[in-house]
Chain A
Amino acid sequence: MPGRLARYRGGLRAGLGFGAAAFVVGISFGVVAEPVMGSVAPIVMSTVVFAGASQFGVVAVLASGGDAATAIATGAMLNARFLPMGVAAASALRGSRLRRALEGQAIVDASWALAARGDGAFDREAMLGATVPQYPAWVVGTVIGVLFGGTLGDPEALGLDAIFPAFFLGLLAAELGRPRAVAAVLIAGAIALGLTPFLPPGLPVLLASSAALIGLWRR
């Protein structure tokens, strides 16, 4: 494995690409959230929550008239994937409990996927480096989306709702080389789509994570 500084720089470099995409996704979040939450709340949310899927999920719940408890539950379920991600990252995080808790906040999908190597080891420096450009990109993108959403017009007419899945597809492509990743993708996809008609949004995604149990299957 290369030195710590080199791994941090490598993460930072990848993070610039992730950050450019997060910037565009952040704009689309600001545009979508402003009519539902006003102009200040979406910016505060991006600053303190910093988790796109849950933020889009919460806006959808509030827009359809859901209350705060439902919105929080939906957002928390969409973020529940950070729990197993944090378990994977824990092997590489050192220092006091507070420091580990703080470094754990750097877990976002793109950085985690970059840092989680196929053999189960975890690259702490790559994750931290990759998150550094994404955070300001996400917040500034949200600000721009909130400020200029009104002049942009209908976010759906601009295709902004297609941006988030495209972002995840780009991340997924880098994952397919792992052993049994294709099988996990097929099973997870079947679970997510199969359960969508029967469960509230968020739960099918969380339950689809059980597809990863195929990793226990020995040939």
Chain B
Amino acid sequence: MAAMSEVWITIGGLFAATVAIKAAGPVILGGHRLPGGALAVISLLAPALLTALILTDTFAREQELTVDARAAGLACAGVAVALRAPLLVTVLVSAVGAAAVRAVT
């Protein structure tokens, strides 16, 4: 268990940082439209960031790259997505896949 003072400082700090990050664009830019190039970049941010989160959450342990049961979970999720399963089914299938691999290894 981490020290509780560190935990609460972390929650307060992350709360403030997250609110500020989310508010910055809407407050500063308001209802102004951006030029086309900026919009093209912005529309690609979601796929780029989602990809990075998927890969680091699956293949990274701290700064080390590993292939473990999480990869099996992601593969199961990939099959579910290819079959156009609902999001809830996709996440459940991934947990079952990772758990199954851990159960036999």
Residues in chain B near residue A135, CB distance under 8 A: none
Residues of chain A within 8 A of B98, CB atoms compared: 156, 159, 161-162
Shortest CB-to-CB span from A196 to chain B, Å, is 5
Min CB–CB distance B98 → chain A (angstroms): 3
CB nearest neighbor in B for A71: B10
Task: Tell whether, in the assembled complex, residue B43 and residue A178 are in contact, meaning their CB atoms are under 8 Å apart.
Answer: yes
Q: How far is the CB of B44 from chain A (nearest CB, A)?
A: 4
For A179, what are the chain B residues with a Cβ–Cβ distance below 8 Å?
A: 40
- Considering only residues 52-105 of chain B, those with a C-beta below 8 Å from chain A are 52-60, 62-65, 69-70, 72-74, 76-78, 80-81, 86-88, 90-100, 102-103
What is the bound-complex CA distance between A96 and B55, given in angstroms? 39
Inter-chain contacts of A172 with B (CB < 8 A): 47, 50-51, 54
Are A209 and B87 in contact, with the CB atoms below 8 A?
A: no
**Chain B interface, DSSP helix/strand/loop, else mixed:** helix
Residue from A17, A67, A71 in contact with B86 in the complex, judged by beta carbons closer than 8 Å? A17
Residue of chain A at shortest CB distance from B103:
A157
Cβ–Cβ contact A90 & B31, under 8 A: yes
**Closest residue of chain A to B58, judged by CB?**
A165
Evaluate whether A204 and B11 lie within 8 angstroms (CB atoms) in the complex, with A90-B32, A91-B32, A107-B22 already known: no
Q: Closest B residue to A59 by CB, please name it.
A: B2
* A98 closest partner in B (C-beta): B27
Cα A113 to Cα B44 with chains together (Å): 10
- Contact of A209 with B74 in the complex, beta carbons under 8 Å: no
Kindly state the separation between the CA atoms of A6 and B55 in the bound complex, as whole angstroms: 36
Residue interface bits B12-27, CB-to-A below 8 A is 1, else 0 = 0111011101111111
Given A36, A54, A93, which contacts B14 in the complex, CB threshold below 8 Å?
A54
* Chain B positions within 8 Å of A197 at CB level: 63-65
Contacting pair A181 B10 (CB below 8 A) = no
Select one of A45, A76, A105 contacting B17, CB under 8 A. Answer: A76
**Contacts A83-B21, A215-B40; A209 near B49 (Cβ below 8 A):** yes
A68 CB to nearest chain B CB (Å): 4
The answer, among B13, B26, B76, B78, for a CB contact under 8 Å with A104, is B26
Query: What are the interface flags for A21-62 relative to B under an 8 Å C-beta threshold, 1 for contact and 0 otherwise?
Result: 100110010000001111001001100111101101010101
How far is it, in angstroms, between the C-alpha of A192 and the C-alpha of B54 when the chains are bound? 10
Do A165 and B74 touch across chains, with their CB atoms under 8 A apart?
A: yes
User: How long is the Cα–Cα vector from A189 to B8 in the complex, in angstroms?
Assistant: 34
Q: What are 30 A-B residue pairs whose CB atoms fall within 8 Å in the complex?
A: A20-B87, A28-B95, A37-B2, A49-B14, A53-B53, A54-B18, A68-B5, A72-B10, A86-B22, A86-B25, A88-B25, A89-B26, A90-B25, A93-B26, A120-B43, A156-B69, A156-B98, A156-B102, A165-B58, A166-B73, A170-B81, A178-B47, A185-B48, A185-B51, A188-B51, A193-B55, A204-B56, A209-B48, A214-B44, A216-B40
